[in-house]
Structure 1
Amino acid sequence: MRPAEELRYLILAAQREGNRLLGRALRPLGVTSSQAEVIRVLQERAPLTLNGLGDLLVCESGNSPSRLVDRLVTLGLVNRDVAGHDRRHVELSLTEEGDRLGRRIARIEEELYRSIDAAAGGRDVDEVLAFLRAFVSDLPAGRALARRAGR
């Protein structure tokens, strides 16, 4: 197997296993990893428009997050508020329940990040990060992640 092929499959395997671990940890909360990402982005950046939210999501990169938001509104986790200055301008924010859930999701994410840090075992991760950023920089998910990171 050539190195580029192995790298491709290692990235895919890491993504799948990370999502599997996160999904298992989120299951008792009744949300998916994509819903959790929406909740966390709103927790950090609200109020946001639907387009503004979509620009920051990696899970739904290039797609409208409207279905995700609709479900979270139905669950009572997200508010849709019409802006006073323009009735066509709808802002999204978390309900109190959404914010409480966001704090629980943040704790689960922190546990996952600690396990990733432990797996890195003192290795220099900066070179890997630089490579991966360069690899996805011109792609929708890479641009969304860069916006979230403030780059």
Structure 2
Amino acid sequence: MSVKVLFVCLGNICRSPTAEGIFQKMVNDSGLGKRIQIDSAGTANWHQGRAPDSRTIAAAKIRNIDLSVLRARAVKAIDFDEFDYILAMDKNNLAHLEDLKPADYAGHLGLFLAFGKQTKYLEVPDPYHGGSDGFELVLDLVEDAAAGLLEAIQKNKFS
């Protein structure tokens, strides 16, 4: 049995590729790389086919996460047939996903940070228009929520 996880932000060049890269590393380190499949997408298609933002790549690289191979794509209706977890970075993207969601979707659709232990942030703030500290904050929030997500999947799907 495998589990499929999709992380979603607006353009798929900052927050969701960061989540994909960090979660992939955690999954691989846990030995579940063959059992958990991970992807990311954006609710907008502006950056389709492009690598993540250079600042996102640089911030992740400091933490030994290589995002340079990822390419942006837009979320599609068929994603609801493919993914067990579809996790939005913020409420606006969650609302967009809820509009796309078929009535019979049996997976988990929600905010990614709900899996984290920190309680200051409910949403992953978009660092695109800010400085480097915004990208560091995204990494910190994503690492926290990714650890909680992996724990939840292990408990619910593999126990």
The answer, yes or no, to whether TM exceeds 0.5 is no
Higher Rg? 1
TM (norm. structure 1) is: 0.29
